[in-house]
A and B are shown apart, each in its own frame.
Chain A
């Protein structure tokens, strides 16, 4: 599994070969995002994908985690590793975990719908508020409860402000109404005065100049006052609306922040407070709606406070189940599986009490495995394939369920690929194609930089020019002295040194073939001797010895086999000597004796046939001819047996 950390180590070795890795299935990794960022994995999915625990996985390389089909970005890969390592190395948090959890549960209970009513509305809020400070006393709380408390207090303060604004607004409204009455009154008076003036003008008809209207200036000011009051009322309304929205957003933001920080219990408490503090009209989700929707791949899904709660509760449940699984796997000795599950569970619920109180001894055991895996990863990163096997075995010793076979298989393939490239480089160098040799050598070194063959070959290439001057005279001397075996033993060095010298290369090729054939005969003789057929082995040795009498290996094999065929060898030696002395019939007798010992011997058969024919042809001449020189027999003259 690519997304499991330790498989990653194995695959790191594969990157040597340039095996590209596919992105995590169903996930879009936000490599540049910040911690706690949620991104949609794909448009696919349905209800069965929701809360599918099996889909949880951690991708250390990209610092992301898949949960519920959604990729959660955990941040920088190095930081993620460091955090997990710190968790494994750190002592378990002190404190009464049960009391802490009970306190948090009590807070939720006080604020839950089943507990709260008109009578205890404020009392429960206050008790829950007070319990937040008790929860904050625990180390593992990390004072997050105080954050909730300050948020709640802020809402309470805001509510007081809200009430003051309301009072202020009511006062303004009263003022406005009074101003409105004055304006109406003034307007009526002006209208009455105007009507009276009109009537007076009609009676006198002289139309004397007089004031057209009086009190209009005052009326204007009164209208202006009323408008200002109206504006003030509207401003108060706006202020109230803004205050309410601000409080709502701040509270929701805190709730989402807790969820994203994987402090699920605090998110639940924040949600509970929110539900109590805000009216029904403010229960819709404004902040984080988009992110929550991505956990529920349903097109018309409407996020609610309950969606947040459900996510938190599912996460808490998964963490709890994950820790149980880890314990079970440890009991069964499957430490690697336990390690993977612990890792996933840690990143899902890093701040969950079950994780924070995980026993220190078990964490130390996991830490040791983690360090071995890190070392294995380092070896993979550095392409140190030679040492991977040792470390895989070490990890297997620690965690018997560690899947080392695929890693070793890939490593072996990589080593083979490197060695093949090296062979190609050597072949190219031998044929004088330096460009091709260089490319093949580079390829071999890229796959396995510490390949001992690469170093050896590189040294050979580097020192080739230096050795050239030494090797040629040495080769010539050995050729003159017929020391084929010595040449054969250094064939690679000579091949490199003489690559450009066709004449000597041809000589070298012949020597290599000759010694190769000689070695084949020696091998054949050895096999025959080991198969309890020493006489035939001796035949092979004798035949080979005729042309390769100086070869040390052959001489050693000959001396090894000789004791097994002492009489046979003596007979053949005697026969050859007699033949050399001209006593062909006596030689034939000796060959027949040898053939009696080794009937299948082609050498004996051939000698008998040859000598018999020769004896038959020369018999008459021999009976009349001179006596050949008798062998150097002893002084003893055999006495013919008496009748």
Chain B
């Protein structure tokens, strides 16, 4: 019976675990997550002139503040607060529309990464994931 050097296990297993962790966690910590390829949504630009953002898709990291309206079969309007990297300059709440097709539940305080599309002046959530 060939004997494997125990040193191999002692060093190999931690290395494997580290590799797996690096492969899974690092991309998430990079900030982009699922929608890392999208441009972050600028609340300031939207407030200033929403028309210039029409048709664009953006990524928005936000926290649910309040459900403003819900219409069966159409969707709901949520007031969310963007999560800013600079907490000293809060952007204030903005309304987003979540169409009826979404199976997600929304509770106050939940944090989401969203893919937004600016349709006319409306911010429509096309995809999202909790984090």
Contacts and interface: CB of A to CB of B under 8 A. Distances in A.
Nearest to B52: A637
B15 interface: no
Interface residues of B, number: 40
Interface string A611-643: 011011101101101011011011001101111
B51 interface: yes
B93 interface: yes
Interface stretch (B4-12, B75-83, B107-115): B75-83
Give chain A's interface secondary structure class.
Answer: helix
Given A590-B47, A612-B69, A625-B120, A633 B74 contact: no
Contacts of A589: 46-47, 94-95
Contact of B74 (A583, A586, A595, A620): A620
Nearest to A589: B94
Most buried by B among A595, A634, A638: A638
A585 interface: yes
A596 interface: yes
B123 A585 contact: yes
A628 B50 CA distance: 11
B31 to A, nearest CB: 9
B99 interface: yes
Given A585-B122, A623-B122, A638 B77 contact: no
A619 B54 CA distance: 15
Contacts of B36: 643
Contacts of B50: 583, 585-586, 630
Contacts of B79: 592, 608
18 contacts: A584-B121, A589-B95, A593-B47, A593-B92, A593-B93, A596-B93, A612-B95, A615-B69, A616-B69, A620-B74, A623-B124, A627-B51, A630-B54, A633-B49, A633-B52, A634-B49, A638-B52, A640-B56
A595 B81 CA distance: 13
Contacts of A640: 39, 42, 45, 53, 56, 58
B22 interface: no
B17 interface: no
Contacts of A16: none
Interface in B35-91: 36-40, 42, 45-54, 56, 58, 68-71, 74-77, 79
B36 to A, nearest CB: 8
Interface residues of A, number: 36
Contacts of B95: 585, 588-589, 592, 612, 615
A643 B37 CA distance: 8
Given A589-B46, A615-B97, 11 more contacts: A585-B50, A589-B95, A592-B95, A615-B122, A616-B74, A620-B74, A625-B120, A627-B54, A628-B121, A630-B49, A641-B40
B119 A623 contact: yes
In the A-B complex, the 9 residue pairs with the smallest Cβ-Cβ separation, listed nearest first, are A630-B51, A612-B68, A633-B49, A612-B69, A638-B45, A616-B69, A586-B121, A585-B122, A583-B121
A572 B31 CA distance: 35
A364 interface: no
B95 to A, nearest CB: 5
